[in-house]
Amino acid sequence: MNRAPAYQHYPDKAMSGTQHLSPEAFKAYWLMLWWMWLHSPDYCSIPDDPKVWAIAMQVPVEQVTILMDEIRNEYMPLLRKKGKKLFQMGLKKESVKQREWREKSSAGGRSSAKARKDKALEGKGGCKLVGTKAQPKSNTPSPSPTPAIPKKELPKIPDWLGETWSDFLSHRKQLRKPMTHEAQKRMLARVLKEGNSRGRRGLDMAMERGWQAPVWDHKELQTASRSGGFVQR
């Protein structure tokens, strides 16, 4: 299968976690991300090897350590280490999104081809198999419907938050930590309280670093960074 040549890029998300970088580290970071997308089998990782970093950053090996000290800052790490690789969570999310889209398109193509084949058979006087639902046995009692427990509606999601919130819910599913209705309600209330800029930036930072929840307090941010970025909510 051919590699995906591009991915969606959002300037506000790109700037939210990189404003602390020097111009040299900023350039090196983005060159590294583009290398991941073009050359890494999973689109989102690079070997934990300074020689490979130097190739991706297009700088001498001697300069790599200084640049990576900025990029992998203890309190604002932009890359996450797992095994012998460094991962960029934003690219991981984009690669999953594109894979799901390709699978959905492929399934749609197969379904469309089958429909055309069935229609052609009918036109030639053929027939197609139609599945029938199994009928329940007469002596089998029907299950009693369980009354649904009404859930309190979530706060209204403003236009400025809609896309970021949807991305964050997908991010939680990728972490195998999908949010309950009540958890969504509590977190939405906090994000809305923080407002447009800080609210979205907190969610973007959590997705960028593979966290389960955003943080805004400085002390809480340090704790999250030292514990691997997983903040329980």
In the chain the domains, ranked by start, together with CATH numbers, are 12-92 (1.10.10), 159-226 (no CATH)
Predicted confidence at residue 230, as pLDDT, reads 47
CA separation, residue 41 to residues 29, 49, 74, 85 (Å): 19, 16, 27, 12
Predicted confidence at residue 52, as pLDDT, reads 94
Q: What is the pTM of this model?
A: 0.48
Percent of the chain with pLDDT over 70: 79
Number of residues that this document lists for the chain: 233
Predicted confidence at residue 172, as pLDDT, reads 92
| Mean pLDDT along residues 98-116 | 78
Provide the 3-class DSSP secondary structure of residue 86. strand
| Mean pLDDT along residues 44-73 | 92
Q: Which residues contact 165 (CB under 8 A, 6 or more apart)?
A: 157, 188, 191, 203
List phi, psi (to 5°) of 80.
-115, 125
Residues 134-179: tens digit of each pLDDT: 555 556 566 656 555 566 688 888 888 888 888 899 899 988 889 9
Which of 22, 23, 21, 49 is CA-nearest to residue 35?
A: 49
CA separation, residue 182 to residues 153, 172, 179, 219 (Å): 10, 15, 8, 26
Distance CA 12, CA 204 (A): 9
Task: Name the pLDDT band for 75 (thresholds 50, 70, 90).
Answer: confident
Residues 126-136: tens digit of each pLDDT: 555 555 555 55
